[in-house]
Amino acid sequence: MKRILPWAVAAALTLACFAFQNRTGPTYPLEGKFATARGQVSFKFLRSEEIGQGLQIMLRDPVPQGVSARVRYRRYKSNDGWSETPMIPGTFRFSRRGTAEEVRGVGATLPSLPERAGKYEYLVLLDDGSGARSVTGDRPVYARYKAPVPHAVLLVHILLVFLSMTLALRTGLAAIAGGEVRGLLWATIGSLLLGAFVLGPIVQKYAFGVWWSGVPFGYDWTDNKVLVELLGWAGAAVAVLVSRNPRTVRGAVLVATAVTLAVYFIPHSIFGSEYDYTRGSGHGTAG
């Protein structure tokens, strides 16, 4: 039981960090409620989609009688003017990470963008009889397109990243308890290299057409975060190799663990790859 408990704690913390990072990221569907003079409206706006699939923007049933809605949209980083499309009643079915969901209500489907990392910016305008108001105020919603990633590649990538995070936290717990950290340390670094620096670029290439969009080529926080994490564990590895002082080694491991936790509390996909329609290219720029 004493051997299993630290692993269980590390795995539970990893799941919590993954859930937080996913739900707070800019590609997670935007959901909430909006008050109108005729009652509350619940909404679900997609902010990520695969090429070939229309982008769905939905108000959930029941939508109060007398409330009409439309979407104002254009391609982000383009010279396009704004277009508008009405939101109509229907059933809207979409998939996310292998699970399907149906939403019945009022909605609109924007045409798919063909470019990897192409983006829409859009506003959802509701009119309850007193004039149209944007659900998100003056700030548009941004939605990014990506190409499909083979399921096997994506699954192995996710499993390795999960394993790396679990090993990192387990190494930190071992350092706190004063236990042996060397084997765990090397396993952490190995899984991090495989998950983030081998499979990560492969996934990025499939989805957005670029191997790496962090420093020095861009500002993608997903890439830059794992780079910072690797530097933290490289420091711990140096301490293990050159220091004979157990306190120094434990301190370096704890610093690397703290860096890993800090990295995972930064939302996923901030400043990710995007297509610049004004230049006809532009993967890896900030956005």
Checking if the pLDDT of 224 tops 80, the result is yes
Average pLDDT over residues 101-127: 93
Counted residue by residue, the chain has a size of 287
Nearest to 168 by CA among 159, 181, 155: 181
C-alpha distances in Å from residue 10, one per residue of 4, 5, 70, 149, 185: 10, 9, 46, 28, 14
pLDDT at position 144: 94
Residues 11-34, mean pLDDT to the nearest whole number: 88
Mutual angle of helices 182-192 and 221-242, in 10-degree steps: 150
Q: Are strands 99-110 and 88-96 parallel, antiparallel or unpaired?
A: antiparallel
CA distance 13 to 274: 31
Q: What percent of the chain has pLDDT over 90?
A: 68
List pLDDT tens digits, range 225-278. Answer: 889 999 999 999 999 999 888 889 999 999 999 999 988 887 766 666 788 898
> pLDDT value at position 283?
46
Range scoring the smallest mean pLDDT among 16-25, 40-49, 214-223, 278-287: 278-287
Does 3 score more than 90 pLDDT?
Answer: no
Query: Kind and range of the H or E element at 126?
Result: strand 119-127
The CA-to-CA distance between both ends of the chain, in Å, stands at 47
pLDDT tens for each residue of 73-111: 999 999 999 999 999 999 888 776 656 778 889 999 999
User: What is the Cα–Cα distance from 197 to 148, expressed in whole angstroms?
Assistant: 20
| Angle value at C-alpha 163, between 159 and 165, nearest 5 degrees | 120
Q: What is the pLDDT of residue 269?
A: 61
- The whole-angstrom separation of Cα 275 and Cα 281 is 6
C-alpha span between 166 and 155 (Å, rounded): 16
Q: Does residue 287 have a pLDDT over 70? A: no
Q: With cut-offs at 50, 70 and 90, classify the pLDDT of residue 156.
A: very high
Question: Could you tell me whether strands 48-50 and 141-146 are parallel, antiparallel, or unpaired per DSSP bridges?
Answer: parallel
- Residue whose tokens read 């939508």: 63
Q: What is the pLDDT of residues 168-191, one digit of tens each?
A: 999 999 999 888 899 999 999 999
pLDDT score, position 25 = 78
State the pLDDT at residue 286: 34
pLDDT tens digits along 28-87: 899 999 999 899 999 999 999 999 999 999 999 999 999 999 999 999 999 999 999 999
